Structure 1
Amino acid sequence: MCDNYGPHGKAEVRTWCAANDIELVYTPTNAPWLNWIEREFTAVHCFTLDGSDYPSHAAQEAAIAGYLRWRNRHCHPKRHFAVNSKIRHPDYLPNVA
């Protein structure tokens, strides 16, 4: 599963995926909440950049690096995502031809 970033659709990527029996599934356009990395970018922005006025790029980099170190110490695997979602346990037939 990937977003619609341009390089994901390049011919080399499609060729490699076909050769390795991989199907890329793209998230819908304008749906960043479906992409885990977007949540991480939002957190970095919220905790390090919102309301900030760093005196230098070095100070800004230090704040971002500090947040990332903290985040990595307190991270947990993303499991049990949408446990009760119909997407995991559908009680209906897929709508396919």
Structure 2
Amino acid sequence: MARRPGVFVRPVTPEEGRRLQQIARTSKQPVRMRRAIVVMASAQGQPVPLIGKLMQVTEGYVRQVIHDFNEHGFAALDPKWSGGRPSKTDKKTRERTDADL
């Protein structure tokens, strides 16, 4: 069975490298910091399995971060927070006061 081709980040300019280092060192968001480290490791030629092992994340996560960075650039490093769980109460119930009871 043939080996799958390696996934690597696109060539990173020196300015982008400095920006990635800055994010990895000073980011207050752990997700953004982890993604920047993954991209930096890939830019240095580290293979996906090694990055996954070093960062203690799955290989699929590493591949996804690399593909996203190649497509969207630095915007891919930002966390994609979602709205969370839907509300269990409707607007009418929330607006009801104790006097209505």
TM-score tier after normalising by the smaller chain length? under 0.3
State the TM-score, normalizing by the size of structure 2.
0.23
Q: Which has the larger radius of gyration?
A: 2
